Amino acid sequence: MDSSWNPALSPTHVGMIMDGNGRWARAQGMARSEGHKEGLKAAKRVTKAASDLGVKFLSLYVFSTENWKRAEQEVSFLMFLLKSHLLKEWDFYRDNRIKVVHSGYLEGLPKDVQADLLQVQHDTAHFDGLTVNLAINYGGQDEILRAIKRWSADPQKPQELTAGTFKNYLDQPQLPPVDLMVRTAGEARLSNFLLWQSVYAEYYFSPKLWPDWNETDLLEALRAFNQRHRKFGGLHGE
């Protein structure tokens, strides 16, 4: 283990914007679908690494509300990958005590993907290890708008809407704020991911394409986080 990494200073909640599957496939002379397959393998590697390294919450940006704009063939393949693997990874969830939750507009997904998402959440609800938040059909603005609608329709809503009470209407209100937001493939933007939750997140941008990511890359991101001085708008440390 890298001696410069202090587990006690690790982020509790890591967000991952997994970018570069298509570019990886193109560089290999392969179809984009092959890049998505390799990206799925990388997601499993990084999830296992996060579990081993003591991260408590890992949010993976799997499919955004904007991804529906992609070619129909690619979208269909991505839905197929989800359907093929959500329940297939049961042994992986069990062996690593991984609890799976979902963020995003569930009703906008195909019925079979909806069913599998609900099933895997039910089956893993009692696990006490890493919580993996799968952001599927997710957009930060969409989540905030849906939260407002939930609040508006709640007959027992608090009279005063504050940041603290509003959080309770988000998709997964029990998740803590994002401490570290990681984006791969050299891009440096948030792309509508966990806008509310990442208000004071630290950012880490990696040039590596997502299918090439492994435990070493995650550890490097955690090590970089250790070097940050977080002030949350205050003057601590200055």
> What CATH architecture applies to the domain 7-144+178-226?
3-Layer(aba) Sandwich (3.40)
- 3-state SS of the chain? CCCCCCHHHCCCEEEEECCCHHHHHHHCCCCHHHHHHHHHHHHHHHHHHHHHCCCCEEEEEEEEHHHHHCCHHHHHHHHHHHHHHCCCCHHHHHHHCCEEEEECCHHHCCHHHHHHHHHHHHHHCCCCCCEEEEEEEECHHHHHHHHHHHHHHCCCCCCCCCHHHHHHHCCCCCCCCCCEEEECCCCCCCCCCCCCCCCCCEEEECCCCHHHCCHHHHHHHHHHHHCCCCCCCCCCCC
Q: What is the pLDDT of residues 164-192, one digit of tens each?
A: 999 999 999 999 999 999 999 999 999 99
Residues catalogued as catalytic: 19, 67
Q: What is the pLDDT of residues 48-88, one digit of tens each?
A: 999 999 999 999 999 999 999 999 999 999 999 999 999 99
pTM: 0.94
Q: What pLDDT was estimated at residue 228? A: 85
Does residue 1 register a pLDDT over 50? no
